[in-house]
């Protein structure tokens, strides 16, 4: 079972309009509202690929109920007093640029609510093969939350742990020894201090996260693909850049793909033994190809957390992987 953790989920509201003009009144052509949050996207993509998935996290108020009702995944969210946030995405249909995202901080979480959650999490993690932890932390949840949950997972199971976040939460999580972390370029650079050209900065930033304690690091670079720094070597993943799609949630699809490879009995990474730090027989290029295919398919899908597995497979066939020496 893949257990996804979303501590700061959201109701995602997407406004479609021709062009965003500041300081003006704009007509919105279409509004889409759905349960969101990075871990929820991971859960949806993994479920679309046929995995057994369970979603947990914190949800509260009217939007919390809306989120849980619209989940479509086994719901193990914990209730909190505060109101779950909403996230506004503005997609400019008259342009092919990146969407504009407005992210609220999220509800305040009390110490008692956080304690209740960690108890519930411990029971769920005991039955998991893979645990993914994604996104920002709401106010009140300690910065070391993902480190704590990684340690809890280690104490109750042999599940692989994948963390997708940035900044201080990422640095602290690494120290708890997750199997894999997946920051995007901005998140990596916010957590590490490196200099030089783009690839050099990414590689040395990723290496410094491994020095902190993460076993493997995959840094996603948007349309430029990704870089993996693992105990078995380093790889550069590249593919065609897609224009006009919706890149929000592509990183979540990448995480879902890596979780599938870590969780499926047929997954090459699992065959190689506990942890993703597999020795001989580990198939990072294969895993990266499959996961990147899902990421590309998510760009081609209408909204975050959606993928067509058949399209993902076709995309995976176009991905180029180069081992870095």
Ligand X SMILES: Nc1ncnc2c1ncn2[C@@H]1O[C@H](COP(=O)(O)OP(=O)(O)OP(=O)(O)O)[C@@H](O)[C@H]1O
Query: Helices (DSSP H) in the chain: which residue ranges?
Result: 38-48, 61-69, 111-125, 145-156, 167-175, 185-191, 198-212, 250-263, 268-271, 284-300, 309-316
**254, 258, 269, 278: residue in contact with ligand X (rule CB under 6 A):** 254
Listed ranges 110-118, 125-133, 194-202, 246-254: which one lies at the site for ligand X (CB under 6 A): 246-254
Token pair in block for residue 217: 């690091």
Phi, psi torsion values for 157, nearest 5 degrees: -160, 175
Name which of 39 and 251 has its Cβ closer to Mg ion: 251
82 vs 94: CA distance, rounded Å: 37
| Contact status: 241 vs ligand X (CB under 6 A) | yes
Q: Which does 214 bind (CB under 5 to 8 A by kind): ligand X, Mg ion, none?
A: none
| Cβ distance to ligand X smaller for residue 84 or 89 | 89
Which residues contact residue 323 at a Cβ distance below 8 angstroms, ignoring those fewer than 6 apart? 233, 234, 235, 285
292 backbone dihedrals φ, ψ, rounded to 5°: -70, -30
Q: DSSP string of 199-263? A: HHHHHHHHHHHHHHT-SEEEEE-GGG-EEEEETTEEEEEE-PPP-SS--TTHHHHHHHHHHHHHH
Residue number with CB closer to Mg ion (56 or 220):
220
**Min separation Cβ 195 and ligand X, Å:** 21
Indicate if 179 belongs to the active site.
no
Q: Please identify, among the stretches 45-53, 150-158, 239-247, 258-266, the one whose residues bind ligand X according to the rule CB under 6 A.
A: 239-247
CB of 250 to Mg ion, least distance (A): 8
Q: Which of Mg ion, ligand X, none does residue 250 bind (CB under 5 to 8 Å by kind)?
A: ligand X
Q: Which of 12, 252, 261, 308 is catalytic?
A: 252
Position of minimal CB gap to Mg ion: 251
| Residue placing its CB nearer to Mg ion in the complex, 42 or 80 | 42
- The contact mask relative to ligand X for 211-230 (x = CB under 6 A, - = no) is ---------xxxx-xx----
For 140-149, b/e burial (b = at least 16 CB within 10 A) is bbeebbbbbb
Q: Give the nearest distance from C-beta 63 to Mg ion in angstroms.
A: 21
Any idea which residues carry the catalytic annotation? 252
Chain residues binding ligand X by CB under 6 A are 38, 184, 220-223, 225-226, 241-242, 247-252, 254, 292, 295-296, 299
């Amino acid at each position: 079972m893949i257990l996804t953790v979303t501590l700061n989920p959201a109701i995602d509201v997407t406004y479609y309009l021709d062009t965003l003009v500041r300081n003006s009144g704009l007509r919105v052509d279409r509004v889409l509202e759905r349960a969101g949050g990075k871990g929820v996207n991971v859960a949806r993509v993994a479920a679309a690929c046929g995995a057994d998935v369970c979603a947990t996290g914190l949800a509260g108020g009217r939007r919390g109920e809306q989120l849980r009702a619209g989940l479509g995944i086994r719901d193990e969210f914990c209730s909190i007093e505060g109101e779950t946030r909403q996230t506004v995405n503005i997609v400019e249909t008259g342009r092919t640029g990146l969407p504009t995202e407005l992210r609220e901080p999220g509800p305040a979480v009390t110490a008692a609510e956080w304690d209740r959650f960690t108890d519930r999490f411990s029971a769920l993690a005991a039955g998991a093969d893979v645990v993914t932890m994604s996104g920002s932390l709401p106010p009140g949840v300690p910065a070391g939350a993902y480190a704590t949950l990684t340690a809890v997972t280690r104490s109750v199971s042999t599940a692989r742990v994948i963390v997708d976040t940035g900044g201080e939460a990422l640095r602290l999580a690494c120290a708890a020894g997750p199997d894999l972390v997946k920051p995007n370029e901005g998140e990596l650079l916010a957590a590490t201090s490196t200099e030089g050209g783009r690839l050099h900065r990414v590689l040395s930033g990723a290496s410094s996260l491994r020095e902190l304690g993460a076993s493997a690091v995959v840094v996603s670079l948007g349309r430029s693909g990704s870089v993996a720094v693992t105990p078995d070597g380093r790889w550069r993943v590249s593919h065609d850049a897609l224009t006009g799609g919706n890149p929000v949630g592509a990183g979540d699809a990448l995480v879902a793909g890596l979780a599938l490879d870590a969780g499926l009995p047929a997954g090459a990474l699992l065959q190689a033994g506990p942890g993703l730090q597999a020795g001989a027989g580990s198939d990072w290029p294969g895993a990266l190809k499959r996961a990147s295919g899902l990421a590309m398919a998510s760009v081609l899908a209408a909204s975050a957390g959606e993928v067509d597995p058949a399209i993902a497979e076709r995309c995976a066939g176009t991905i180029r992987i180069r081992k870095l020496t």
